[in-house]
């Protein structure tokens, strides 16, 4: 059985979608959800689906081996960042080479980097009058949104679209493609 640990910071809609996708899968399971936000809605979503979930602070994550040691006990085959806003520390990346992936709500390398997440991205897309946006699923390295691309999907941005319209289109792409790409990565390993 392949094991996934999800990291999320907010509401957790992508995390819930992944959990539900793998609920009755004979080969892949989501074992844990971890968050840097003790008030994140993702904790409730995980609990409602009987997935162990807990929060941690920056000290445990970046400045000590606490989170790393917990991850080692979980032995994940893949660590999936689903709306996780902190930069992933190099000591954890080194312990799980090519096992940490992220989803980003734009077509990287455009609209990536520190501070480019969620509605910040969608507002920038609309402000710059882009005609297309999309999602990027990529490996995580020591730089924000610069790891090797795994998958991209696109959607049109109409001249009449607001940032909220773009967000809805991006969310639909995430819901459709993220679980399938994660499944493919694990089955092909």
Residue 43 in domain: yes
pLDDT digits (tens, 9 = 90+) for 153-181: 999 999 999 999 999 999 999 999 999 99
Whether 126 is in a domain gets the answer no
Q: Give the least confident one: 45-49, 119-123, 140-144, 176-180.
A: 140-144
Q: In this structure, what CATH number is given to the domain that contains residue 179?
A: 3.40.50.170
88 confidence band (pLDDT: 50, 70, 90): very high
Confidence of residue 105 (pLDDT cuts 50, 70, 90): very high
Instruction: Give the residue-averaged pLDDT of 98-120.
Output: 95
Domain of residue 33: give its range. 2-107+137-153+174-188
12 is an annotated ligand-binding site residue:
yes
Does residue 96 sit within a domain?
A: yes
* 14 assigned ligand-binding residue: yes
DSSP alpha helix (H) spans, 49-89: 58, 66-74
On whether 13 is known to bind a ligand per the annotation, the reply is yes
Options 27, 32, 39, 104, the catalytic residue: 104
Q: For the chain, what is the domain count?
A: 1
Establish whether 20 is an annotated binding residue. Answer: no
Indicate left, alpha or beta for 2 from its phi (over 0: left) and psi (-120 to 50: alpha).
beta
Rounded distance, CA 66 to CA 63, Å?
A: 9
Mean pLDDT throughout 141-160? 96
The answer to whether position 129 is within a domain reads: no
Does 166 map to a domain?
Answer: no
On whether residue 162 sits in a domain, the answer given is no
Rounded distance between C-alpha atoms, residue 18 and residue 41, angstroms: 15
Active site residue 39: no
In a domain, 18, yes or no: yes
- Find out whether 163 and 172 touch, Cβ atoms under 8 Å: no
What pLDDT was estimated at residue 188? Answer: 79
Is 66 within a domain? yes
**pTM score, two decimals?**
0.96
DSSP 136: E
Structure tokens, 149: 């691309």
151 DSSP β-pair partners? 137
């Amino acid at each position: 059985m392949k094991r996934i640990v999800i990291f999320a910071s907010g509401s957790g809609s992508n995390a819930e979608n992944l959990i539900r996708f793998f609920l009755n899968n004979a080969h892949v399971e989501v074992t844990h959800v971890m968050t840097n936000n003790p008030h994140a809605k993702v904790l409730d979503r995980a609990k409602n689906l009987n997935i162990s979930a807990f929060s941690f602070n920056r000290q445990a994550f970046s400045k000590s081996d606490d989170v790393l040691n917990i991850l080692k006990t979980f032995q994940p085959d893949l660590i999936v960042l689903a709306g996780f806003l902190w930069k992933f520390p190099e000591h954890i990346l080194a312990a799980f080479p090519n096992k940490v992936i992220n989803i980003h709500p734009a077509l990287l390398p455009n609209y990536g980097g520190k501070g480019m997440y969620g509605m910040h991205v969608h507002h920038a897309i609309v402000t710059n009058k882009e005609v297309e946006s999309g999602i990027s699923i990529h490996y995580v390295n020591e730089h924000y949104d610069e790891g090797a691309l795994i998958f991209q999907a696109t959607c049109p941005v109409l001249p009449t679209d607001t940032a909220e319209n773009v967000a809805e289109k991006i969310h639909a792409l995430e819901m459709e493609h993220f679980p399938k790409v994660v499944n493919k990565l694990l089955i092909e390993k």
